[in-house]
Amino acid sequence: MPPAGASFFRRRVQGNLLKVKSQEPALAAREVSKSFDGREALGGVDFEVGPGEVVALIGPNGAGKTTLLSILAGISKPDSGQVEGHGVAWVPQQAALYRRLTVRENLLLFARLQHDAGLTSEAPQTMVERMLGLTGLSARADDPVGTLSGGNQQRVNIAIGLMAGPSVLLLDEPSVGLDPAQRERLWSFVLGLVGDGTSVTFSTHDIGEAERYAERIVVLAEGERVFNGTADELRSEVEAGGATGDLESSFLAFLRERGH
């Protein structure tokens, strides 16, 4: 488990930025649009994430974050536009776990499904032991999932997403409902994966979390990408408007100035 201090993340960010510049995106959406019942949820959005990069997707309720993530994951089809990239895993907000089955039984169930679907050649039992090690949950292997903390349940949820060895992990509001300590542990687990070159894109309503753990922030509002850059760049966008201090204030001022 890597140390979770800010300096660790910053060093990792610098390393990743250097790496990203010279490489093709791991996953990209070009001019992606999607409407539901005639109402536009996404209106021609561009998005990309580089190999090993961590990107946060923020924006008001209904902005289109989940819609974009599900299109990137390939589980929802855009009306127009393209998605390029492969090896993508989608971790939905609601963990699809069987609460009365143990951690090991849940992992075994999904390992078998993925194995039988030809998504991995790894033997299910071997996969289960590897995922128990990765999540740090070996000691809880025989406990019903429903007895675990929210943070530990989310680890099991993410471990299932990792079974097919994805190169991009898409997480929809992964830390909702977690206390700060659980949240920090979850992120040190997720960012430990980035060390292997896995890209991470996550949505969140916690602006501090976006700044702390992502090297780049994308803001969606009413189906449009209205910002793409670093937290400091987002701050400087609104400096003229008098926003200082925390990123959440800058974010709110940024949206207000643009009529959202």
Ligand X SMILES: Nc1ncnc2c1ncn2[C@@H]1O[C@H](COP(=O)(O)OP(=O)(O)OP(=O)(O)O)[C@@H](O)[C@H]1O
Instruction: Note the residues at the interface with ligand X (CB under 6 A).
Output: 36-37, 41, 59, 61-67
- Report which DSSP code applies to 138: G
Q: Which residue, 22 or 37, has its beta carbon nearer to ligand X?
A: 37
Q: Which residue, 70 or 135, has its beta carbon nearer to ligand X?
A: 70
Q: Looking at 33, 35, 66, 138, which residue binds Mg ion (CB under 5 A)?
A: 66
Tell the smallest beta-carbon distance from residue 43 to ligand X (Å).
Answer: 11
On whether the CB atoms of residues 137 and 156 are closer than 8 A, the answer is yes
Q: Report how far residue 169's alpha carbon sits from residue 165's, in angstroms, rounded to the nearest whole number.
A: 10
Tell the smallest beta-carbon distance from residue 68 to ligand X (Å).
Answer: 7
Tell the smallest beta-carbon distance from residue 141 to ligand X (Å).
Answer: 32
Strand-pairing partners, residue 202, are 56, 171
Q: Report how far residue 55's alpha carbon sits from residue 48's, in angstroms, rounded to the nearest whole number.
A: 9
On whether the CB atoms of residues 221 and 60 are closer than 8 A, the answer is yes
The three-state secondary structure class of 171 is: strand
Q: Report how far residue 96's alpha carbon sits from residue 159's, in angstroms, rounded to the nearest whole number.
A: 12
Question: Among Mg ion, ligand X, none, what binds residue 61 when CB lies within 5 to 8 Å by partner kind?
Answer: ligand X
Question: Among ligand X, Mg ion, none, what binds residue 41 when CB lies within 5 to 8 Å by partner kind?
Answer: ligand X
Q: Which residue, 134 or 176, has its beta carbon nearer to ligand X?
A: 176
Q: Which residue, 67 or 157, has its beta carbon nearer to ligand X?
A: 67
Chain residues in the site for Mg ion (CB under 5 A): 65-66
